[in-house]
A and B are shown apart, each in its own frame.
Chain A
Amino acid sequence: DTGVSQDPRHKITKRGQNVTFRCDPISEHNRLYWYRQTLGQGPEFLTYFQNEAQLEKSRLLSDRFSAERPKGSFSTLEIQRTEQGDSAMYLCASSLGNRNEQFFGPGTRLTVL
């Protein structure tokens, strides 16, 4: 399978705990994006990397959120001191070149109890 992969697919945690999600983009895609989707809404942009550089961050990305893409390949998204409002589907996408067509992974569904 050469698509975008995400791990874990589901995560249940208690309020106040830290969680980390991983995204592996399509091989050789230089751009990687994180989005968040809540029930009944379209995905909302969180942050974007070109290679290992984090170029854009949304106002949605509070201080409790941090993302990395250390070698320009996979990326991690960490949420510290989770809150119930963080419950959502976290989606990762990747793209290549100027065409910028984005391909999405299956998502990580986070539930904060």
Chain B
Amino acid sequence: GIQVEQSPPDLILQEGANSTLRCNFSDSVNNLQWFHQNPWGQLINLFYIPSGTKQNGRLSATTVATERYSLLYISSSQTTDSGVYFCAVRLISSGSARQLTFGSGTQLTVLP
């Protein structure tokens, strides 16, 4: 079945540090999204990135579709970056099915 693996599962940083979160997936994708889930459970869209590189402020993401992985970079981390980061994919092999399959997330804690 579809596999989406995220690493590391937990990450603790000092404010101002940089970090890289990784997402590996088992097949070719036509949709890949990164989300940040805040403490109230809201999933916030960070990137829609089935391939290529995008940047938004201190955050950037790269998906290398041919090698089946995506990276989320957080620079100069702030305490408000704390929360769970999810990668979610829709595989090309899923055909007409449109749902996303989520990884188990990376729990990020940024200490002041």
Contact B31 A107 (CB under 8 A): no
Interface secondary structure of A, over-half rule: strand
Contact B43 A104 (CB under 8 A): yes
Q: Does A31 contact B (CB under 8 A)?
A: yes
Q: Residue on A with the closest CB to B104?
A: A42
Given the known A-B contacts A42-B102, A42-B104, A43-B102, are A91 and B43 also in contact in the complex, defined by CB atoms under 8 Å?
A: yes
Contact B48 A45 (CB under 8 A): no
> How many A residues are at the interface, by size bracket?
20 to 34
Contact B86 A42 (CB under 8 A): yes
Number of interface residues of B (CB under 8 A): 24
Q: Does B83 contact A (CB under 8 A)?
A: no
Q: Does A99 contact B (CB under 8 A)?
A: yes
Question: How distant is the Cα of A100 from the Cα of B103 in the complex, in angstroms?
Answer: 18
Contact A41 B104 (CB under 8 A): yes
Q: Does A48 contact B (CB under 8 A)?
A: yes
Contact A42 B98 (CB under 8 A): no
Smallest CB–CB gap between B8 and chain A, Å? 15
Contact A56 B43 (CB under 8 A): no
Contact B99 A33 (CB under 8 A): yes
Smallest CB–CB gap between A60 and chain B, Å? 11
Q: Which residues of A contact B30 (CB under 8 A)?
A: 100
Smallest CB–CB gap between A77 and chain B, Å? 15
Smallest CB–CB gap between B106 and chain A, Å? 11
Q: Does B90 contact A (CB under 8 A)?
A: yes
Give which listed residue, B4, B42, B97, B105, contacts A56 with CB less than 8 A: B97
Question: How distant is the Cα of A103 from the Cα of B90 in the complex, in angstroms?
Answer: 14
Given the known A-B contacts A42-B88, A101-B45, are A95 and B98 also in contact in the complex, defined by CB atoms under 8 Å?
A: yes
Contact A104 B97 (CB under 8 A): no
Top 7 A-B residue pairs of the complex, sorted by shortest distance between their CB atoms: A42-B102, A45-B99, A104-B43, A101-B48, A107-B41, A106-B42, A43-B102
